[in-house]
A and B are shown apart, each in its own frame.
Chain A
Amino acid sequence: MTLLLLFNITNGLIVGAFYVLMALGLSLILNLSNVINFAHGGFLVIGGYIAYAISPYVGFWGALLLAPPLTAIIGLAVERVLIRPLYGRDPLYSLLLTFGLAFMIEDGTRFIFGPQGKPFAIPPFLAQPLSNDLFFITGYRLFMVAVVVIAIALLFLLLRYTRLGIRIRAGTLDLETVAALGINVRMLRSLNFAVGIFLAGLAGVLAAGQLGLEPTMGTGLLMPSFIAIIVGGIGSLPGTLVGGLLIGVASGITAVFFPAASEAVIYVMMAIILLARPRGLFGEEGMLS
């Protein structure tokens, strides 16, 4: 029983790490640009399939290094051409546009790579379980968690100490003042978008190694990421981090006792949060209320 519980908690943490990667990117874009990026799951798929396409030439490690920045470049182009004209308009429009874009990415992937799932090879030494008792802790899972932790640490360092990061945080609080201080807000939004998409691309590569590739792999992660943001509190990145891990573990634990409800439990958590603390765990009152 303890083992089963431990197994599911580990699973929950790993799934939660994916939610966190997705949700942090979504949250960055939402906070600065007021855009709900429905195509975020689509960018995860792009990241995964880029890794799949280039790994025969550059290997697993090359794909892990190259796929996220390539995804971010595609994200930059999309932002520049499609999303930039919509800033300042009702958020409805960017929501609809990214919604349509998600359709196109899913269908396009299916068209290019076929509807069947694709395997994505990981280095053999990562695929082995570390011990016989704890069979579920494979090297790859530990490696994934390590990569996610490093990525998140780098993101927070970027936001804390670099000029770009400080401007992003300032813009989240008051974009008008930031613009009045002579900072190129358009550029800021583009770079911020690219950072968000980079995280989605990274999640895509990691997910490909764990679950294999499918054109629909992003859709299932999108809704829990929304909930991670709502539970953690809009406007707070640490909140998103906690929210993602929390719902991952909660659904892992529920899977032990009541498997059918493991999807539903995260919605119940959201409802409770909205009842008891509408701004979310770490949200500040007045942010986007």
Chain B
Amino acid sequence: MTAEQSRKLIVLVAIWAVLLFAPYWMAPLGGYTALATRVLVLGLAAMSLNFLLGFTGVLSFGHAAYFGLGAYGAGLSLKYLALSTPLAVLCGILLAGLCGAILGLLIVRRRGVYFAMVTIAFGQVFYYIAFQWSSLTGGDDGLRGFARQPIDLGFLKLDILTNANVFYYFVLFCFALAVGAMGFILRSPFGRTMIAIRENERRARFLGIPIERHIWIAFSLSCFFMGCAGALYALVNNFADPRGLHYSQSGDFVMMAVMGGMRSFWGPLLGAAIFVVLQDYLSSVTVNWMSFVGLLFILVVLFFPRGLLGFFQRSKA
């Protein structure tokens, strides 16, 4: 094992250890388990976006739509279909992923700024649907009247509804599955091709790689992961909010990815942690927290465009 490999292994073990014991070290530091759960869910969302943004290099600014679709998918399934948490998560993933895959066919026809604009605009479609179709989605008030259900494994009953720690581990389990799948895809030849497209699209095209199809697959996969995060978010709140589909939420996700470091796999999780804790704190001390979040955007773009991890990596090199 080379020094580089063992260093990576140590970092990986450290990350998982921090995540595994979060309910135990958060409380003494003044946090609470539900905050850790939110960090995990939004971190998964930011990592799903970064799967597309950081590793394929195409800028989607409408990913909140698929996050929100995941949330509504899970909520509607719990409310109307069956009282089953795993089914709800699955429904959320499928709704977001399939919508993403269908719209992706239209979206991948464009690149660059145009791509960003089209993704924003299509994202807003779902916002308006959730907002207007009150009989199904609850409109402006959001979707209420459902709750996550305890999971019965046969030999063990997981009470994720009332026990915050058990729910945290359930979310961590889903997170691990999704992140594992993402890591596996990025290591595969397909993942390498995505990075090749990011680095030099023209060259990749000359090598005979079908660029549009690859970007479409990456976009769809990223929507499936996003749906998973959204479904978990609905379970966290027992509520689905139309504002979760709005483009300002997409901006938050992009910000998390950029702030943590777009070029690193774990960066967006770090960005999400900082963003969530900061927003939680700011909204408790000032009503003008929007200004501070806006200021944070500007400062990060001007002074830390590579994000925190990128900043550390560069200053080390």
Contact = CB atoms under 8 A, between A and B. Distances in A.
Interface string A180-222: 0000000000000000000000000000000000000000000
A103 B247 CA distance: 12
A93 B129 contact: no
A130 interface: no
A254 B111 CA distance: 31
Contacts of A278: 109-110
A288 B113 CA distance: 8
Interface in B155-201: none
Contact of A91 (B116, B125, B297, B300): B116
Nearest to A261: B132
A234 B293 CA distance: 31
Interface string B98-114: 00000000100111111
Contacts of A274: 106, 109-110, 118
B254 interface: yes
B284 interface: no
A127 interface: no
A270 B248 CA distance: 21
A104 B290 CA distance: 7
Contacts of A91: 59, 112-113, 116
A248 to B, nearest CB: 16
A166 to B, nearest CB: 24
Interface in B236-264: 247-248, 251, 254-255, 258
B132 A89 contact: no
B302 interface: yes
Contacts of B296: 100
A289 B298 contact: no
B229 to A, nearest CB: 20
A94 B59 CA distance: 12
Nearest to A26: B117
A127 B244 CA distance: 40
Instruction: Classify chain A's interface size.
Output: 35 or more
Contacts of A223: 120-121, 124, 247
Given A267-B121, A267-B124, A96 B110 contact: no
Contact of B128 (A101, A267, A275, A289): A267
A230 interface: yes
Given A91-B112, A96-B258, A103-B294, A86 B124 contact: no
Interface of A: 30, 34, 36, 38, 82, 85-86, 89-97, 99-104, 106-108, 111, 223, 226-227, 229-230, 234, 260-261, 263-264, 267, 270-271, 274-275, 278, 288-289
Can you list the 5 inter-chain pairs with the closest CB atoms, starting with the nearest? A100-B297, A103-B294, A104-B294, A107-B290, A100-B294
26 contacts: A30-B113, A82-B298, A89-B305, A91-B112, A92-B116, A92-B254, A93-B301, A96-B254, A96-B255, A96-B297, A99-B248, A100-B293, A100-B296, A102-B294, A103-B291, A103-B297, A104-B290, A104-B295, A223-B120, A223-B121, A223-B247, A263-B128, A263-B132, A264-B129, A267-B124, A289-B114
